[in-house]
Amino acid sequence: MGSKNKLKRFRENDTFANVIQPEREDLLKGSSLKGNWHKHFNNNNPIVLELGCGKGEYTIDLAQKNPNINYIGIDLKGARFWRGAKTALEENLTNVAFIRTQIELIDCIFNEDEVSEIWITFPDPQIKYTRTKHRLTNAEFLKKYHQVLNAEGVVNLKTDSEFMHGYTLGLLHGAGHEVLYAHHDIYKNPHTPIEVTSTQTFYENQYLEKGKPITYIKFKLRY
């Protein structure tokens, strides 16, 4: 993407009512958003997050299918989720928002028990050992997710990375968390929940065209 195109998207994001771009320093001091998301959406519907939402395809598709649930996509790259934010406005999806920030600040944005579900879709597996702290399912991230999820809250990991799938399963089992569902090739398993296979991203379609297996884990965090 050219720099001019990026700048144009950044400027448009500034005008979108469904895009929130807080400063890191402000979040660390205490965000006014925290604990007030139901006021933002003007309802008491469940809140679902997509972490590392990219273009926002998953967020938008889930919001279209579930109008009584609020969806929030989080990503640091605003030029990417610009497409999702624009689509939400064009289609008058009032149950969608996007936040441009680092995922490690999730506990600065949401209150305890404020979130019902988390989706992590096709994250960078950060395979090198030195990148462990950046994996979105490492132990520190899981603690943050647990903090913002309500008692019945679940986390979904959908990935094309066998490494990420195996790493996460091992971590979950080792720490005593509850794995509700796991499979290494969801499109070859007739028991895969329909909500997992009915929503696909651009990159997911590319992986499927190449015959690459898509893996999925649904789990609850127990501490």
Give the per-residue pLDDT at 9: 84
Phi, psi for residue 153 in degrees, rounded to 5: -65, 145
Q: What is the DSSP letter of 48?
A: E
pLDDT digits (tens, 9 = 90+) for 172-182: 999 999 999 99
131 three-state secondary structure: helix
73 three-state secondary structure: strand
All domains of the chain in start order, with CATH: 3-220 (3.40.50.150)
Query: Which pTM does this prediction carry?
Result: 0.94
pLDDT-derived band at 3 (thresholds 50, 70, 90) equals low
For residue 138, count other CB atoms closer than 10 A to its CB.
Answer: 16
Does position 24 have pLDDT exceeding 80, yes or no? yes
The residue count of the chain comes to 223
Q: Among 77-81, 82-86, 119-123, which stretch is predicted with the lowest mean pLDDT?
A: 77-81
CA-CA distance, 142 to 34, in Å (whole number)?
19
Give the per-residue pLDDT at 1: 57
Average pLDDT, integer, range 109-127: 96
Average pLDDT, integer, range 48-73: 95
CA-CA distance, 74 to 138, in Å (whole number)?
18
Give the per-residue pLDDT at 20: 92
Q: Are 79 and 222 in contact (CB under 8 A)?
A: no
pLDDT digits (tens, 9 = 90+) for 179-196: 999 999 999 999 999 989
Could you list the active site residues? 124
Phi, psi for residue 179 in degrees, rounded to 5: -90, 115
